[in-house]
Amino acid sequence: MENLNVVQLDFGFDCEPLETQKRTSKSNKKPTNDFVFNFMDCLTSPIIVFKSAWQDTIPKDILKNIKLSRLLCSMQQEEMASFTETLAYLMPRTYEAPMPTEWVNIYTWLGLQYAAQYKNNDQLNAMTEFAPSELSKYEMGLLNNLRRWIYDKRRKALKDKLKSTEKSEKKILPKNQKVLFKE
């Protein structure tokens, strides 16, 4: 009963017949997306950056815009890190050692996307001079893999944070209750 063919019957009304459509039945599984968790993920998840001595050199305007870009990705139902978040991850890596050409193209392209999204004309003019206008399929595949990896790490960190706070609350509550109900 997965693929049903729908046929429209003619009852003499003056309307155009519907085209024959194939419908697929939806699975009965509960959707795994939880709105509250996704919203918490956008606003409170830690920012994942490349472990480096340079990780504190990320500009504050990029860090400030990560929450907004996460919300935009969430609204588009992308289960990947945003371009801004990926740019923040790669930035400390660029100071460590030279990167392969593919990653330089990805990094500069992300900078161009950031400048275009947040309408920074000075950055945009500078980035258009040397950033590629589009990435190859291979580079886009590398970028998407990195975005998924950052997204997974971010959500795992939030889940761990929620579990640890839940455990600490369970330890505190009985002690507080004893004090409250002490005669």
| The dihedral formed by the CA atoms of 140, 144, 146 and 151, expressed in degrees to the nearest 10 | 160
List pLDDT tens digits, range 157-171: 999 988 887 777 666
Task: Please indicate, yes or no, whether the overall pTM of this predicted structure exceeds 0.85.
Answer: no
Q: Which residues pair with 17 in a beta bridge?
A: none
pLDDT digits (tens, 9 = 90+) for 60-119: 999 999 999 999 998 999 999 999 999 999 999 999 999 999 999 999 999 999 988 887
pLDDT score for 17: 54
pLDDT digits (tens, 9 = 90+) for 27-67: 444 455 588 888 888 888 999 999 988 888 899 999 999 99
* pLDDT score of 27: 44
Nearest Cα to 148, choosing from 79, 65, 55?
79
HSE-CB of 40 using CA atoms within 13 angstroms? 12
